[in-house]
Amino acid sequence: MLVYRRLLSYVAPHWKVLPIALVAMVVAAGSNGVVPYLMSEVVEVLESEGRGAGSLLVPLLLFVTFMVRATVDFIAVYGLGWLGRSVVRDLRAQIFERYTELPISYFEHHSSGALVSKLTYNTEQVAEAISNAVVVAIRDSLTVVVLIGAMIWFSPLLTAMVAVAAPVVAGLVAVMSRAFRRYGLRIQTSMGDATRVTEEALSGARIVKVFEGQKHQQQRFSEINEHNRRQFMKLVATRAGGDALSQYTLTIAVSAMIALAFSETLLQGLDAPVFIGFLVALGMMLTPMKRLVNINAVLQRGIAAGITLFETLDEPGEPDTGTRRLERARGDVEFRGACFTYDEAKGRVLHDVSLRVPAGSTVAIVGRSGSGKSTLVGLLPRFYDVEAGDVRLDGVDIREYRLRDLRRQLSLVSQDVLLFDDTIANNIALGALGNAPREAVEAAAEAAFVTEFAAGLPEGLDTPVGQRGMLLSGGQRQRVAIARAVLKNAPVLILDEATSALDTESERIVQRALESLMTGCTTLVIAHRLSTVENADSIVVLQEGEAVEQGTHAGLLDRGGIYSSLYRMQFAD
């Protein structure tokens, strides 16, 4: 019930088309009621002696009736089509907006394929339900009511006989509704699965080819494809079966009624025009009735889609309760006893980590793979919140700042650079940086050694980078990401250095770009390069989520602890 009401709340802003469409549908239903009457008039005229009189009136009335019906049908379908598409646009906008606001953890637990399919397929089901199903539901049920009225007008007795079938049909419809909704939900899930597998296969095209994954991927897809077909067939079977059953019921009722009508004792004085009028009304009722039963499938699918869409819309966004404003931070960063757990079952990932990074200094974070380095730096932009302890910026708990203000203080160059399908310049001037002047973008490109390779491209900085930046090399993508950080010029910089082995030449260029970026910033760098580690003001060693050693390069080497062994293994060739 709540779903209906909520779906209606999307219709409400566009209510203006409703009265027009409604009037059109009432007129359409009314015109349907006129047809049996006109038909019985036709019989009347045929039977009467003087055929000339009034014989032109009936065809004229028929002509007008059908013209009117066609016109109001157009108005109703167009009006509700417009309504449906407007609702889909609004729903899609809301869902997309929600996607951009959900916390990182949400995306770790929901496949992007399923999320994409929600945005495309599920919203389409809602549109279908609103435009098609509503036209049918209103126009056809009105038509049925009008025709039943006509039948009663012609002969209450005959109507009563046919009405015996009504409860059976109603029962069928109720049972079918439930089945429609169930299968509708399953079809949605399998559409999500299909999108997910397709996305994976497409984005992993290189891996699939080299590891001969084609067969496996095809197999995975064909299972989902088959499951989808089976669920759809259940829906089709329910619909067709229900259709047949309700037709059987009606056929029995109608045949019985005609048989009774022929036995004159029962229905004395039933003349031909009345009987024809009644039969035409009954016959005309069958198509809208059938449509009403069938449209239920569409309606139920729409409702099932609405349920999952509303679930997504109701997901809580990122916690943003801080009220403190921050124009530009000095850049004093401090972790105080930070603890963090992703998943109770896997246990704590960070244990009581304390670390101070004074404004303008550089701290290198080193440690084995999986020791919690990325997790630690991810606390600062609040991708995750600490479980115990706190993280401070300029001496204030970061949760007290407004989230936007906090993030405005940070730049991030991550391990895996993702570029958007746009030009190099637009990838540098991303998001809030979008209105940066062209000279600033060019200066950033220069500082990050982007100009060096962009100059050789056909359109320079305005060359498109392709989906995910596929048209650039790994090192080039990194430099674009660095240019982005240069342009942002935030007081705090987070670097998750790439482990990817760049050749020495490129490595040196990227290194130089990074150095120019780091000057004047407070920098937290997850270091994989020896030079970065050596030049850092301080080094922190993480081991299984604990900060086990902290000091300068020389100091830690002298201590001969974990760092010195790590140094020998990892950095010293």
Ligand X SMILES: Nc1ncnc2c1ncn2[C@@H]1O[C@H](COP(=O)(O)OP(=O)(O)OP(=O)(O)O)[C@@H](O)[C@H]1O
Total of chain residues touching ligand X, rule CB under 6 A: 13
∠ CA 98-427-207, rounded to 5°:
80
> In this structure, what token pair is assigned to residue 201?
């296969």
- Nearer to Mg ion by Cβ, of 34 and 376: the residue is 376
Site string for ligand X, 297-336 (x = CB under 6 A): ----------------------------------------
The three-class DSSP label of residue 547 is: strand
Applying CB under 6 A, the span of 13-21, 235-243, 338-346, 386-394 interacting with ligand X comes to: 338-346
Applying CB under 6 A, the span of 204-212, 343-351, 395-403, 484-492 interacting with ligand X comes to: 343-351
- Nearer to ligand X by Cβ, of 196 and 373: the residue is 373
Among 343, 344, 503, 505, binds ligand X (CB under 6 A): 343
* Of the candidates 532, 525, 441, the residue with the CA atom closest to the CA atom of residue 488: 441
Among 123, 362, 371, 427, binds ligand X (CB under 6 A): 371
Q: How far apart are CA 317 and CA 304, in angstroms?
A: 23
Applying CB under 5 A, the span of 92-100, 126-134, 346-354, 374-382 interacting with Mg ion comes to: 374-382
> In this structure, what token pair is assigned to residue 285?
């009722």
Applying CB under 6 A, the span of 44-52, 124-132, 367-375, 388-396 interacting with ligand X comes to: 367-375
∠ CA 271-272-274, rounded to 5°:
75
- Nearer to ligand X by Cβ, of 36 and 372: the residue is 372
Q: How far apart are CA 156 and CA 146, in angstroms?
A: 14
Question: Does residue 108 belong to the site contacting ligand X (CB under 6 A)?
Answer: yes
Among 19, 171, 370, 520, binds ligand X (CB under 6 A): 370
The three-class DSSP label of residue 135 is: helix
The one-letter amino acid at 17: V
Q: Which residues contact 554 (CB under 8 A, 6 or more apart)?
A: none
Pair 531, 370: CB distance under 8 Å: no
Question: Does residue 374 belong to the site contacting Mg ion (CB under 5 A)?
Answer: yes
Question: Does residue 268 belong to the site contacting ligand X (CB under 6 A)?
Answer: no
Pair 361, 491: CB distance under 8 Å: no
- Nearer to ligand X by Cβ, of 467 and 499: the residue is 499
Provide the minimum distance between the beta carbon of 369 and ligand X in the complex, in angstroms, as a whole number.
3
Rg for the chain (alpha carbons), in Å? 35
Question: Does residue 375 belong to the site contacting ligand X (CB under 6 A)?
Answer: yes
Q: How many helices (H) and strands (E) does the chain have?
A: 23, 10
Find which of ligand X, Mg ion, none residue 342 binds, CB within 5 to 8 Å per kind: ligand X
What is the widest separation between alpha-carbon atoms in the chain? 124
Find which of ligand X, Mg ion, none residue 343 binds, CB within 5 to 8 Å per kind: ligand X
Provide the minimum distance between the beta carbon of 370 and ligand X in the complex, in angstroms, as a whole number.
4
Find which of Mg ion, ligand X, none residue 143 binds, CB within 5 to 8 Å per kind: none
Q: How far apart are CA 520 and CA 329, in angstroms?
A: 13
- Nearer to Mg ion by Cβ, of 414 and 511: the residue is 414
Provide the minimum distance between the beta carbon of 368 and Mg ion in the complex, in angstroms, as a whole number.
11
Q: How far apart are CA 334 and CA 357, in angstroms?
A: 6
* Of the candidates 140, 227, 237, the residue with the CA atom closest to the CA atom of residue 192: 227
Q: How far apart are CA 428 and CA 54, in angstroms?
A: 81
- Nearer to ligand X by Cβ, of 111 and 198: the residue is 111
Q: How far apart are CA 388 and CA 237, in angstroms?
A: 56
Query: φ, ψ for residue 20 (rounded to 5)?
Result: -65, -50
Nearest residue to Mg ion by CB is 374
CB atoms within 10 A of CB 542: 25
User: Which secondary-structure segment (H or E) carries 247?
Assistant: helix 214-262
Question: Does residue 349 belong to the site contacting ligand X (CB under 6 A)?
Answer: yes
* Of the candidates 89, 86, 92, the residue with the CA atom closest to the CA atom of residue 115: 92
* Of the candidates 410, 496, 404, 485, the residue with the CA atom closest to the CA atom of residue 450: 485
Question: Does residue 414 belong to the site contacting Mg ion (CB under 5 A)?
Answer: no
Give the alpha-carbon dihedral of 525, 529, 530, 536, to 10 degrees.
-20
CB atoms within 10 A of CB 212: 8
Applying CB under 6 A, the span of 153-161, 292-300, 370-378, 429-437 interacting with ligand X comes to: 370-378
- Nearer to ligand X by Cβ, of 5 and 346: the residue is 346
User: Which secondary-structure segment (H or E) carries 411?
Assistant: strand 410-413
- Nearer to ligand X by Cβ, of 370 and 466: the residue is 370
Among 55, 225, 374, 489, binds ligand X (CB under 6 A): 374
Provide the minimum distance between the beta carbon of 373 and Mg ion in the complex, in angstroms, as a whole number.
5
Provide the minimum distance between the beta carbon of 179 and ligand X in the complex, in angstroms, as a whole number.
38
Site string for ligand X, 390-409 (x = CB under 6 A): --------------------
Question: Does residue 344 belong to the site contacting ligand X (CB under 6 A)?
Answer: no
> Looking at residue 57, what DSSP letter applies?
H
User: Which secondary-structure segment (H or E) carries 216?
Assistant: helix 214-262
Among 192, 372, 381, 491, binds ligand X (CB under 6 A): 372
- Nearer to Mg ion by Cβ, of 189 and 374: the residue is 374
Chain positions 387 to 406 lying near Mg ion, rule: CB under 5 A, are none
Chain positions 232 to 251 lying near ligand X, rule: CB under 6 A, are none
Applying CB under 6 A, the span of 181-189, 372-380, 436-444, 532-540 interacting with ligand X comes to: 372-380
Applying CB under 6 A, the span of 63-71, 123-131, 371-379, 563-571 interacting with ligand X comes to: 371-379
Q: Under the rule (CB under 6 A), what is the footprint of ligand X?
A: 108, 342-343, 346, 349, 367, 369-375
Residues that bind Mg ion (CB under 5 A): 374
